[in-house]
Structure 1
Amino acid sequence: MKVKVPKQERTSYVLTLLIMIVCCVIVLLLPVCGSVPLTGWLQSPGHPRGYDPDSSLTWKECAPTGHKITLTLIHLDLEESFECADDSLKVFVDNELHFTLCGRKSMKELQSSINPFLHSSSGGCLSVSFLADYSNPERHTGFRGFYAIQDVDECEDPDNECTQLCNNYIGGYRCFCRPGYILDPDKHTCQVSCNEDRTGSTEGVLMSPGRPEPYPENSLCSYTLAVEEGLQFELTFTGVFDVEMKENGQCIDSLTIKPLSGDVKTFCGRDLPPLVLTRSQHVEIIFRTDHKGANRGFSLSYKVKEMNCVGPVTPTSSLIPQHSNSEYRTGSRVKVRCDKGHVLQSKDSAEVEYESTCQKNGKWSPVIPCEPVDCGNPELPELVELSEKDPPTTYLKQIRFKCKSQYYQLDKTGNFTCNADGNWVSESGQQLTEDLPKCEPVCGMNSEVSSGGRVFGGKRAELGQIPWQILHKLNPRGGASLISDYWALTAAHVVDGYENENMNWLGGIIDARDKNAVIMETEKIIIHPNYMRVGKGNDPNNFDNDIALIKMSARVTLGPNIRPVCLPNKKDELVAEGTISGFGRMEEKRISRYLLHGLVEIYSLDECDQGGLPVTHNMFCAGGDHIDSCQGDSGGPLFSPVLGHGSPDKPYRLAGIVSWGPAGCGNKSFKGYYTKVQNYLDWIKETMEKN
């Protein structure tokens, strides 16, 4: 049976003939590529008569390095279906799916929308997968295409990295340079050949390549100058200096002067560099440029002059004799003297000068550095630390002391400076050993809580509200006030007769039964020498000088609930009111388990009913309506300002010590009497210093 070929297919055959002619030309031009076919046809099974159901085809070809493979579809007639689910032609470029095709497409459609994208990368691959399902309602002729392996023109790629010229050949490309340039070993970069060795030349001129025209790109020029020992080069820039620089001053291109020893200098921009005295018999001048620019470069003249030495010999020193221009001829001898606060870096650190000679090479010999005097880390008193860990300790450096705990403060300024003699000195000029700062407890501060009430039948204190109150719980029951981290003040009659015993005091509590109380054991009890002691022929009712100091056997660890109260100032007027506190009797002879406090008014002795007992100027009285101290409160504090009104500028101060009173506590007619602490400040200070 004779098959009639449709008109569309006849057109395809004509195009096929043309492609075959082109193919023959390509084959003649391409070298033999091993076993890889250079051209070929690709078509569906049974084409052009039509493909059978369940037919399939897979194909893949890869191009050699420097080549690409292309596919040109000239015919496409597959069963049409949604998303090509029935019959399909899938085309992969470099292992990525580019097209899934089905239905009919004309040659014009294939050429415009499909074929331009069917080419691999250099050395890449193309692959095809054709798959038909189990049935076709009508005959479809399938697909046909032509593939070819072609040379890649790498010179058309802007990323081929040839800085000047590029020559493409079948399977690769080659970079080459314009006349006057050489190809760098990287085989891509063209550089100017501009290295010069002028060893032995004592004068001359050096210029950037192409001067006075703009210098070429990608230049790396090295000019070597070298003469005999004892001479040095003097470089003078002339004419226009124009080396490319960014607006922020950073060099794009650069001119670097690199002596054998000494400072390396780099220049760029348009400012003419100053005269350069190299101080070296050997100099390398390096000129670098990038791949673009139109700058005019540099010109410099060089000559030699006798080498000399320049002072100082070493930093932080001076020379004797001192020349005005600080230059010394070969053979010159000088004395090197370290500046103030510096000593020689040698075994004998007390030496501050030595002799040095200018050598022929422009160097001094010997060179012994002058180093700053080191005051070292000071020995720190107890509770004191440096505000900075491992601070510098050399001449003119400063250190600052601080207290380790927030409950202490320095008794004087903590700033010290290392002087030229290697001593730490204060701002007043005193040495650290003579003016050593100490950490003293911060006094008169508490954890503020709103207050009110009274002792006798009064209101309970909050924890930390009266942190200086301490208690002797056993017989004799009484109170005392911490005035430092070692010392407390109480009434003499509370500790009278117990001077040689170890008394335990409780602190940091508001509950006498608190098992977490801070226990303080006495080391010394010192009663005022003028106190009228009971049982020694003296009047037992005389409470003049009723004051005693207690020294604890160990430093009290201060905290928010146990802190000292401040002593009063000598010249302060007696306050009008204050707060009393204690663990004494409340009412009906019942001892309080809790720390109580109350506000009292302070009166002059003329306003107090003495009740027939002797009263002296060492006392004052205080009280109010049913507000009083009572038995068991003895030795405790009367302090001001009133509880709740203290501040860092107005700390709480101990105005009085609970001493004595009438038989009935809280009597409206009789007030309680308190030892006036202000009268004993000198005795307190002297006793604490001696003990």
Structure 2
Amino acid sequence: MIVFCVIVLLLPVCGSVPLTGWVQSPGHPRGYDPDSSLTWKECAPTGHKITLTLIHLDLEESFECEDDSLKVFADDELLITLCGRKSMKELQSSINPSLHSSSGGCLSVSFLADYSNPERHTGFRGFYGIQDVDECEDPDNECTQLCNNYIGGYRCFCRPGYTLDPDKHTCQVSCSEDRTGSPEGVLTSPGRPEPYPKNSVCSYTLAVEEGLQFELTFTGVFDVEMKENGQCIDSLTIKPLSGDVKTFCGRDLPPFFLTRSQQVEIVFNTDHKGENRGFSLSYRVKEMNCFGPVTPTSSLISQHSDSEYPRGSKVKVKCDKGHVLRSNDSAEVEYESTCQKNGKWSPVIPCESVDCGHPELPELVELSEKDPPTTYLKQISFKCKSQYYQLDKTGSFTCNAEGNWVSESGQKLTEDLPKCEPVCGMNSDVSFGGRVFGGKRVALGQIPWQILHKSSPRGGASLISDYWALTAAHVVDGYEENTMNWLGGLIDGLDKNPVIMETEKIIIHPNYQKVGKNGNPNKFDNDIALIKMSARVTLGPNIRPVCLPNKTDEIVAEGTVSGFGRTEDKLRSQYLLEGLVQIYSLDKCDSRGLPVTHNMFCAGGDNIDSCQGDSGGPLFSPVLGYGSPDKPYRLAGIVSWGPPGCGNSFKGYYTKVQNYLDWIKETMEKN
């Protein structure tokens, strides 16, 4: 930056502000009195500063000037605190140079003497004046080239070939050019091959008639200032009328490219530093052609093998797999398009992804992700709405090109829709021992599959799903459908808020026969029945199903029996009781001459037995308290019959559920 100085001999600054004057302590030079004081303040106009030159200082000396003091402030900030005696030489060398305000600021003085003055002190005297500020000497004045100072201000100006920016400080090279109508030529950075100027914004406009475009080729050395991290400091930006904007910097020669536009603006920006050589590029026009594809996610079917098509070319546009045309007929996937004079195709119909939509889901099933994308190749998965259910199959489904959700094996979702099935064989994690005949009470949620029929005949059943329960045939024999009520979610038979379940169907095994052909009473072969409820049972911690056994399971050695039946001293129990029983082969049990079959097994314990009123209830394994997600509780038997009397050496007989798995499955599927 070059500085020009102008000497002005005399110029009034402001009629209301004196250019010079004196300020001194009271009584100077005879001496100031105790408790005397003085305040003084003057301000400079814009572009000026006010200075104070002390020519005399004689005040009482004290520690940190706490007795008598002279304080000088600039713009309300303390510059110095003085006391004692100073010579003129000391004042000029170390104090006076700092006593001035900022440009357009104020200078003030505060003198204060205390109550005593052991010896006479003459005080202080100073000369103040208003001076012009030379802004050109200030490195922060922001003039990028030349600076001219005048009284009250300064101005920036530029060397020949540059113009002053509207900010009045920045000089920019005059390098913008309009080359409209020019079909070819060369553009270079200003001053090339010398380093380009600083603080410049050059704008070059290229424009020709419709149907033509510009080819740009960079030649020679390319050198535009760039940071080490690749960020541009200076930049060359190419802006087509339509299409992508490209910005270049660094030392790598940019590649040749077509602008695909009849008008291009080329902008060259530089900052205030650097010694770089810039750029050189040649341009020429050529006829506008069309390029494929016409739209994303589509391809061209044409007789041309090139990717560039002259005007008038006709092509078939075909949507890629999994996409269809955005038109009234969403099944269409191709159309004809023609290359226009402006290098654009017409018509242009976008190809959209096939959308499989949100599937209709069965009750209890929901999507794992809320509002997932449902277009081509997107995936969805499912989950159950309740923690008491689990999917019968896992995995994700993918939207295919035909608009169908398909599994990994290729099956359509509509053919392989996952279902939520109740989690079976799990109970609340509690421990509460007990017996049935001679038993103890059960904790709520411990045997949540046990349900109760209170009226005659009193009996039990076991939930095996959220619609079906399994019981003994003789418990429901004689009842018509829709006439039985069952209670669940309770351990107290007098509970006032049980879950009430009404039956919709009662299906007794077709081979059940309570009285034999020869009149033999109490023949309980095939003593099993299915109950379907009229509405889905709302599962929860206190009411949920037990698992059925597997066909391949070996007969268990022990299990738990439960029910609301007879106890030692009562005809029936108010509370649900449970007990551990051993399971025996039929030859180990005494049937008292009554017939037994392979569809039965017997079980009992040390004065533990099922009894009247427990009929239809469960015998399950493992023993209560030992179930787990890996070893859920399974229904091994249904309380069926027994010899007269309960407990002691008696053992009850149970319907062997494992023998009826096919019948249970088929019956539930048909009903």
TM over 0.5: yes
Structure 1 segment 597-612 matched on structure 2, within 5 A: 597-612=578-593
Q: Which residue of 1 aligns with 2:640?
A: 659
1:247 aligned to 222, 228, 231, which one? 228
Equivalent residue in structure 1 for 2:278, among 297, 310, 324: 297
Alignment partners' CA distance in 2, 1:248 and 1:510: 74
**Partner SS for 1:657:** strand
| Distance in 2 of aligned mates of 1:455 and 1:117 | 106
CA contact (8 A) 2:13 2:45 kept: no
Question: CA separation in 1, counterparts of 2:91 and 2:500?
Answer: 102
TM-aligned CA distance change 1:37 to 1:590, over 3 Å: farther
Distance 1:536 1:117, change over 3 A: farther
- Listed one character per residue, the Cα deviations across residues 638-678 of structure 1 (whole Å, up to 9, x for unaligned) are 1122223323232221111111123332233x322111111
- Mapped to 1, the partners of 2:515 and 2:197 lie a distance apart of 112
Q: Which moved more, 1:82-91 or 1:143-152?
A: 82-91
Q: Does 1:93 align with 2:74?
A: yes
Of 437, 442, 454, 1:473 maps to: 454
2: distance between equivalents of 1:363 and 1:501? 74
Corresponding residue for 1:338?
A: 319
2:380 equivalent in structure 1: 399
2:140 is the alignment partner of 1:152: no
Report deviation, 1:590. 5.8
Structure 1 unaligned segments of length 5 or more: list them.
1-25
CA-CA distance at 1:133 after TM superposition: 4.3
What is the deviation of 1:409? 1.4
Indicate which of 123, 145, 163 corresponds to 1:182: 163
* Structure 1 equivalent of residue 248 of structure 2: 267
Q: For residue 198 of structure 2, what is the amino acid of its counterpart?
A: E
Residue 59 (structure 1) aligns with: 40
Which shifted more, 358-367 or 658-667? 658-667
8 Å Cα contact 2:391/2:419 also seen in 1: yes
Does residue 118 of structure 1 match 2:83? no
| Residue correspondence of structure 1 range 634-649 to structure 2 within 5 A | 634-649=615-630
**Given the alignment of the two structures, is residue 307 of structure 1 paired with residue 288 of structure 2, yes or no?**
yes
Q: CA deviation at 1:276?
A: 0.6
Aligned partner of residue 585 in structure 1, secondary structure: coil
1:675 aligns with 2:649: no
Aligned partners of 1:145, 1:538: CA distance in 2, in Å?
142
SS at match of 1:48: coil
Cα deviation, 1:388-419, whole Å, max 9, x if unaligned, reads 11111222222222111111112223522222
Is residue 668 of structure 2 the alignment partner of residue 688 of structure 1? yes
Per-residue CA shift, 1:114-139, capped at 9, x if unaligned?
43432211111111223334553332
> Offset at 1:330?
0.7
Q: For the Cα contact (< 8 Å) 2:433–2:441, is it kept in 1?
A: no
Which of 396, 416, 437 pairs up with 1:415? 396
Aligned mate of 2:477, from 489, 492, 496: 496
Residues 532 and 538 in structure 1, CA contact (< 8 A), matched pair in contact too: no
Deviations 1:595-621 (A, max 9, x none): 332322222222222221111111111
| Mapping 1:374-523, distance limit 5 Å | 374-413=355-394, 415-450=396-431, 452-500=433-481, 502-523=483-504
Contact map agreement 1:479 1:583 (CA 8 A) in 2: yes
Deviation readout 1:77-124 (Å, 9 max, x if unpaired): 334456655544333221233444444444455445543432211111
Change (3 A) 1:501 1:38: same
CA offsets, 1:564-600, max 9 Å, x none?
1111112222222222222333322363333332322
2:233 and 2:38 mapped to 1: Cα distance? 59
1:425 deviation in Å? Answer: 2.0
Structure 1 residue 556 corresponds to structure 2 residue 556: no
Partner SS state of residue 191, structure 1: strand
Q: Secondary structure at the match of 2:667?
A: helix
RMSD of Structure 2 on Structure 1 (CA): 2.4
* SS state at 1:597 partner: strand
Taking a change above 3 Å as real, the CA distance of residues 516 and 269 of structure 1, as seen in their structure-2 partners, is: farther
Name the aligned partner's letter for residue 430 of structure 2. V
- CA 492–417 in structure 1, closer or farther in 2 if over 3 Å, else same: same
How far did residue 34 of structure 1 move?
2.6
Aligned partners of 1:659 and 1:673 also within 8 Å: yes
Kindly state the Cα deviation for residue 309 of structure 1 after the two structures are TM-superposed.
0.5
Which sits farther off after the overlay, 531-540 or 670-679?
531-540
TM-score normalised by the chain length of structure 2: 0.93
- Give the distance between the partners of 1:408 and 1:431, measured in 2 at CA: 23
Deviation string 1:240-296 (CA, Å, 9 cap, x unpaired) is 222222233222222211111112222222222221111111111111222222222
Displacement after TM superposition at 1:544 (Å): 1.2
Paired residues of 1:579 and 1:641 also in contact (CA < 8 A): yes
SS of residue in 1 equivalent to 2:253: coil
Write out per-residue CA displacement over residues 313-350 of structure 1, whole angstroms, 9 at most, x where no aligned residue. 11111222153331111111112122222221112222
Per-residue CA shift, 1:456-512, capped at 9, x if unaligned? 323433332222122223433222111111111111222222334533322223333
1:49-70 deviations in Å (ceiling 9; x for gaps): 0123443322111111111112
Q: Write the letter of the residue equivalent to 1:339.
A: D
Structure 1 residue identity aligned to 2:133: V
Instruction: Give the aligned partner of residue 546 of structure 1.
Output: 527
Structure 1 pair 538/252, CA: closer, same or farther in 2 (3 Å)? farther
Tell me whether 1:359 sits opposite 2:359 in the alignment: no
Per the TM alignment, residue 143 of structure 1 is displaced from its structure 2 partner at its CA by 1.6
- Shifted more, 652-661 versus 538-547: the winner is 538-547
Task: Give 1:177 shift.
Answer: 2.6
Distance across 1 between alignment mates of 2:459 and 2:110: 106
Kindly tell me: are residues 466 and 393 of structure 1, through their superposed partners in 2, closer, same or farther at Cα, counting changes over 3 Å?
Answer: same
Alpha-carbon separation, structure 1, partners of 2:412 and 2:111: 99
Q: Residue 14 of structure 1 corresponds to which residue in structure 2? A: none
Give 1:155 deviation, angstroms.
2.3
Give the 3 Å change call, closer, same or farther, for CA 406–108 of structure 1 in structure 2.
Answer: farther
- Partners in 2 of 1:284 and 1:609 — Cα distance? 107
Name which of structure 1's ranges 127-136 and 400-409 shifts more when overlaid on structure 2: 127-136
Residue matched to 2:610: 629
SS in 2 for 1:542: coil
What letter matches 2:221 in structure 1? V
Q: Distance in 1 between matches of 2:318 and 2:273?
A: 53
Cα distance in structure 2, aligned partners of 1:680 and 1:227: 90
2:637 and 2:92 mapped to 1: Cα distance? 112
After superposition, the C-alpha distances for 1:175-219 in whole angstroms (9 at most, x for unaligned) are 223343222111111222211222222222222222222222222
Q: 1:528 to 1:180 in 2, by over 3 A?
A: same
**What secondary structure sits across from 2:381 in the alignment?**
strand
Q: Which runs of 5+ in 2 are unaligned?
A: 1-6
Alignment check: 8 A CA contact 2:459 2:616 kept: yes
Q: Confirm or deny: 8 A CA contact 2:300 2:315 kept in the other structure.
A: yes
Contact 1:452 1:599 in 2 (8 A): no
Distance 1:59 1:606 in 2: 126
Any conservation in 2 of the 1:81–1:103 contact (CA below 8 Å)?
yes
Q: Partner of 2:3 in structure 1? A: none
Q: Write the distance in 2 (CA, Å) between the matches of 1:210 and 1:520.
A: 96
1:161 counterpart letter in structure 2: E
Q: How many matched pairs?
A: 665
Contact 2:516 2:523 in 1 (8 A): no
Residue 258 (structure 1) aligns with: 239
